Amino acid sequence: LRSEWEGEAFRKFDDQFQQLKPKVTDFSNLMHQIEQQLSKTATAVEENDANLSRNFGLN
């Protein structure tokens, strides 16, 4: 993009992009952490359900 877009508009865009980039990276990392937590929770729920089903003789 830098090689195609020149001028003050690009400089303003690039300044704003550079300012927001850490926040976007932090948000991406947060979403990844949430995904991992949800995956672990889903696995735990599945395992718990399987264990409970054994109480009813359903294997």
User: For the chain, how many structural domains are there in total?
Assistant: 1
Domain-located, residue 15? no
Q: What is the value of pTM for the model shown?
A: 0.66
At 59, is the pLDDT very low, low, confident or very high (cuts 50, 70, 90)?
low
- pLDDT digit string, tens, across residues 7-51: 999 999 999 999 999 999 999 999 999 999 999 999 999 999 999
Domain-located, residue 3? no
Residue recorded with tokens 């690009």? 10
Query: Is-contact 2 10, C-beta < 8 A?
Result: yes
Domain-located, residue 4? no
Q: Residues with Cβ < 8 Å from 2, sequence gap 6 or more?
A: 10, 14
Residue 3, judged by CB atoms within 10 A of its CB (0-12, 13-18, 19+), counts as exposed
- Could you list the residue range(s) of the whole structural domain that residue 57 is in? 22-59
53 — phi, psi (to 5°)? -65, -25
